Amino acid sequence: MRHADYIGSWLKVLREDNRAIFSAASRASKAADLLLAFHHDEAEPPQEGIAA
């Protein structure tokens, strides 16, 4: 594995843009929300005939 290369690439990005980590975190959060919403929709079977 190339952990040092991965960390090095992040260090380069952060040196060029000190807000890059916040942009990446925001995008990751949005992606997680999308996946969780999709999973939620697929995981629950329709509940026909059940009163709320």
The mean predicted confidence, pLDDT, of the chain is: 85
Q: Does residue 51 lie within any of the structural domains?
A: no
The domain of 28 spans 3-38
> What are the structure tokens assigned to 11, written together?
């260090």
Q: Within 1-52, where are the H helices?
A: 3-16, 20-43
End-to-end CA distance of the chain: 52
Instruction: Give 43's pLDDT tier (boundaries 50, 70, 90).
Output: low
8 A C-beta contact, residue 49 and residue 42: no
Residue 52 forms part of a structural domain? no
Mean pLDDT of 2-18: 94
Residue 10 lies in a domain: yes
CA distance 37 to 43: 10
Residue 48 maps to a domain:
no
In total, how many domains does the chain have? 1
CA dist., res. 25 & res. 18, Å (int): 13
Classify residue 43: in a domain, yes or no.
no
**Residue 37 contacts residue 44 (beta carbons within 8 Å):** no
Residue 31 lies in a domain: yes
The pTM assigned to this predicted structure is 0.58
